[in-house]
Amino acid sequence: MNIQWYPGHMTKAKRAMKEDIKLIDLIIELVDARVPLSSRNPDIDDLGAGKARLVLLNKSDLADERCNNAWASYFEEKGCHVVKVNSKSGAGLKSINGVVLEACKEKIERDRRRGILNRPVRAMVVGIPNVGKSTFINSFAGKACAKTGNKPGVTKGNQWIRLNKSLELLDTPGILWPRFEDQQVGIRLALIGSINDEILNKEELAMELIRFLMSSYPQVLSERYDLSAEDPLEGLMQIARARACLARGGELDLNRASNLLIEDFRSGKLGRLTLETPQQS
Ligand code: G4P
């Protein structure tokens, strides 16, 4: 599988983000709780040096709760504040205001010493495409004020969304570029649907998912698909048979079975699953 992010895009996005970060006190970084490392770009650590950091484990409703807790500890150990959220339903969003004040208490104290009272914390939401930035901004701000779209960097003429007397949000999210040096990262991003489906080999991807489930969540395969196979191809064929995925002439339609399995995973029908753990990092 060969997935590329153009270097030209990357340089431009990085430059734009550097400028925007100068304007803010706090970086709110969204990661996908099912793949918290693969869905982040560690360059943000350098770009955001000296800024307060809040990591949101978004889509935590789709991820394994034990792993969510392990990932929260992982990021906390790195000096970030962490909140588990479901931006779609709004779960977890209420606790963010308090955590923001805690994360920025040094800045607030510094302002106070200088006689500046009630200057709001300025924050920027960042993350790779599809991680849920627009959904988060819309739910958190309580109105449809973030535009969806995958343009890297931040549009000019920044607008601030005043959320309350102590917090302002840059209206457009900062789009980070995913990293693909590691093939496993590409596979995980493809599985969560962050990479254009058209450039993927679905059968290969489905077999990667089956391989992962066989080793980490074997009960999922037996419970949902009654799978007894021991190798991924045989597993995919069993799913095709069980779900009557047949092509003309009665052959198994592995492409349809692959789409079905991947869709079941993405929509949470396979249960709450996390594809990587802090121990692997
Ligand atoms: P982006 O700005 O970072 O690119 O992401 P965006 O908000 O567009 O969200 C990408 C997809 O992720 C959307 O689904 C959105 O509904 C979903 N999403 C965002 N946050 C959460 C969450 O916490 N939990 C769950 N389960 N899903 C979340 P979509 O399929 O593109 O659209 P739709 O089905 O919601 O219409």
> Hey, how many other C-beta atoms are within 10 angstroms of the C-beta on 47?
18
Q: Residue 225, exposed/middle/buried by CB under 10 A (0-12, 13-18, 19+)?
A: buried
Tell me what the pLDDT averaged over the chain comes to.
Answer: 90
Nearest residue by C-alpha to atom 35 in ligand 1: 88
Say if residue 280's pLDDT is above 90.
no
Q: Taking CA 142 as the corner, what is the angle to CA 24 and CA 32, rounded to the nearest 5 degrees?
A: 65
Question: If you measure from the C-alpha of residue 129 to the centroid of ligand 1, how many angstroms do you get, rounded to a whole number?
Answer: 10
Residue 136 backbone zone (phi > 0: left; psi -120 to 50: alpha; other: beta): alpha
Please enumerate, by residue number, every residue annotated as part of a binding site for GTP.
58-61, 86-87, 130-135, 174
* Sequence ranges of the domains in the chain: 7-175, 201-280
Of 154 and 249, the structure prediction assigns the larger pLDDT to: 249
Confidence at residue 5, expressed as pLDDT on a 0 to 100 scale? 59
Pocket probe mutation, ligand 1, options 135, 170, 197, 262, max atoms within 8 Å of Cβ:
135
Of 123 and 16, the structure prediction assigns the larger pLDDT to: 123
**Given this chain, do its domains 7-175 and 201-280 carry the same CATH topology?**
no
What is the distance between the alpha carbons of residues 132 and 120, in angstroms, rounded to a whole number? 24
What is the distance between the alpha carbons of residues 140 and 36, in angstroms, rounded to a whole number? 21
What number does CATH give the domain 201-280? 1.10.1580.10
CA 150 to ligand 1: nearest atom: 4
The residue written with tokens 């391989």 in the block is: 211
Of 46 and 178, the structure prediction assigns the larger pLDDT to: 46
- Of 7-16, 163-172, 262-271, which one has max mean pLDDT? 262-271
Confidence at residue 171, expressed as pLDDT on a 0 to 100 scale? 85
Q: Residue 210: beta bridge partners?
A: none
Average pLDDT of span 162-189: 88
Any residues with CB less than 8 A from the CB of 178 and at least 6 apart, and which?
5, 38, 39, 41, 128, 129, 185, 189, 194, 195
Q: What are 192's two structure tokens?
A: 């969560």
Q: What is the ipTM, given to two decimal places?
A: 0.98
What residue type is 146 in one-letter code? A
What is the full DSSP assignment across the chain? ------HHHHHHHHHHHHHHHHT-SEEEEEEETTSTTTTS-THHHHHTTTSEEEEEEETGGGS-HHHHHHHHHHHHHTT-EEEE-BTTTTBTGGGHHHHHHHHTHHHHHHHHHTT--SPPEEEEEEESTTSSHHHHHHHHHTSS-S-----SS--SS--EEEEETTEEEESSPEEPPP--SSHHHHHHHHHTT-S-GGGS-HHHHHHHHHHHHHHH-HHHHHHHH----SSHHHHHHHHHHHTT-B-TTS-B-HHHHHHHHHHHHHTTTT-S--S--GGG-
pLDDT band at residue 6, thresholds of 50, 70 and 90?
Answer: low
What number does CATH give the domain 7-175? 3.40.50.300
Nearest residue by C-alpha to atom 33 in ligand 1: 88
What is the full DSSP assignment across 149-189? ---SS--SS--EEEEETTEEEESSPEEPPP--SSHHHHHHH
What is the distance between the alpha carbons of residues 39 and 82, in angstroms, rounded to a whole number? 16
Say if residue 26's pLDDT is above 50.
yes
Question: If you measure from the C-alpha of residue 263 to the centroid of ligand 1, how many angstroms do you get, rounded to a whole number?
Answer: 14
Is the CB of residue 161 less than 8 Å from the CB of residue 171?
yes
